[in-house]
Amino acid sequence: MIKKRKIGLIGGGQIGGNLALLSVQKQLGDVVLYDIAPAEGMIKGKALDINQLSAVDGYDCRVTATTDPKGLAGCDVIIITAGVPRKPGMSREDLLDINLKIIKDVAANIKAHCPDAFVINVANPLDAMVYALHKITGFKKNMVAGMAGVLDTSRFKCFVAAELDCSIRDIEALVLGGHGDDMVPLLRHTTVGGIPITKLIAKEKLDAIVKRTREGGAELVKLYQTGSAYFGPAASSIAMAEAYLFDRKRILPAAAMLDGEYGLPKGYFIGVPCQIGAGGVEKVFELELDAAEKAELAKSFESVKKTVDSVKL
């Protein structure tokens, strides 16, 4: 008998709720929505609400909500959104202390209850949280990744499609580096239907698109006022989970642990193009960067390093 997959969502807030809905709509498997005791009513409500919509389109996946970490046992994939989101005026780094405490609890639960899962972290500051998660769990580096690059690249593509009034499907792009204000959208590797982006959009407009991409998270924090983006982060995390669950071997930008790639120090997590399949992060691709791109990546790495080096475990 083929076993149904089990998707564990740690944190059932804004992103967690959308992850549960998408998991059911895409029929990835049964979902466990885990959160802390004060959120019990909210996660039970979300689980019930989603289960009640299943009949409309005939989804055979069920959501259960629990505040008992034992409920995570047997999960094939875990997506972590446990943590506090930004408020207007805050940087992701401002969340370090508070979210580090949370990730310590989360990491201990994952280690105890689902040591074989592929773990995707979404909590911010992204690259530092995934570093802490890897250190605490001691999981193999291929089984721990951070979701940022898929979202940052999707934001970039969204702005390019709007500028050109073209199908977003025809845009190939890649955003590298840390999930911060100095992330690196690679213009030289961006094409629309095979045509280099620099031939289609003037420099000033492209610079503005790059800036808007870098500040994409903050733009939403300012609009929402009470928290940060949730639809985009949820969809982007599901793309990574699907790649793992169905062994798609997709090449997606994700925060993966470096082992000397890009000439950067080993042991840090930062956004790079990865192949994601049944083996988790099966491969990290090293692109040939020109001097300007290398300098931008080095700058982004320094920001990540500064935050990571202040992590006390």
Would you call 196 helix, strand, or coil by DSSP?
A: strand
Cα angle: 234, vertex 247, 180; to 5 degrees:
40
Q: Are 109 and 82 in contact (CB under 8 A)?
A: no
- Give the tokens for residue 284: 């990290």
Instruction: Give whichever of 10 and 270 is closer to ligand APR, judged by the CB atom.
Output: 10
Q: By CB under 6 A, is residue 102 in contact with ligand APR?
A: yes
Kindly report each contact of residues 260-268 with a partner whose C-beta sits within 8 Å and lies 24 or more positions away, as own/partner.
261/286, 262/286, 262/289, 262/294, 262/297, 263/294, 264/297, 264/298, 264/301, 265/305, 268/127, 268/131, 268/301, 268/304, 268/305, 268/308
Q: By CB under 6 A, is residue 15 in contact with ligand APR?
A: yes
Q: By CB under 6 A, is residue 13 in contact with ligand APR?
A: yes
**CB of residue 94 to ligand APR, shortest distance in Å:** 10
Instruction: Give whichever of 53 and 98 is closer to ligand APR, judged by the CB atom.
Output: 98
Q: By CB under 6 A, is residue 21 in contact with ligand APR?
A: no
Polymer length of the chain: 313
* Closest among 148, 186, 215, 180 to 308, alpha carbons compared: 180
- Give the tokens for residue 137: 């769990």
Q: By CB under 6 A, is residue 35 in contact with ligand APR?
A: yes
Q: By CB under 6 A, is residue 8 in contact with ligand APR?
A: no
Would you call 166 helix, strand, or coil by DSSP?
A: coil
Instruction: Give whichever of 82 and 274 is closer to ligand APR, judged by the CB atom.
Output: 82
List, in order, residues 6 or more apart from 294 with CB less than 8 Å away: 262, 263
Pairing of strands 171-172, 269-277: unpaired
For residue 179, indicate whether it is catalytic. yes
Which range touches ligand APR (CB under 6 A), out of 99-107, 187-195, 236-244, 262-270? 99-107
Instruction: Give whichever of 177 and 233 is closer to ligand APR, judged by the CB atom.
Output: 233
**CB of residue 202 to ligand APR, shortest distance in Å:** 33
**CB of residue 105 to ligand APR, shortest distance in Å:** 4
Q: Per the residue annotation, which of 113, 134, 179, 189 is the catalytic one?
A: 179
**CB of residue 12 to ligand APR, shortest distance in Å:** 5
Helices 291-309 and 126-137, interaxial angle, to 10°? 60
Site pattern 114..133 for ligand APR (x: CB under 6 A)? --------xxx---------
Q: By CB under 6 A, is residue 30 in contact with ligand APR?
A: no
The only residue of 7, 20, 33, 82 in contact with ligand APR, by rule CB under 6 A: 82
Q: By CB under 6 A, is residue 178 in contact with ligand APR?
A: no
**CB of residue 257 to ligand APR, shortest distance in Å:** 20
Q: Which residue has the tokens 């994409």?
A: 216
How far is residue 62's CA from residue 69's CA, in Å, rounded to a whole number? Answer: 18
Supply the residues annotated as catalytic.
179
Site residues for ligand APR per CB under 6 A: 10-16, 35-36, 39, 81-86, 95, 99, 102, 105-106, 122-124, 227-228, 230, 233
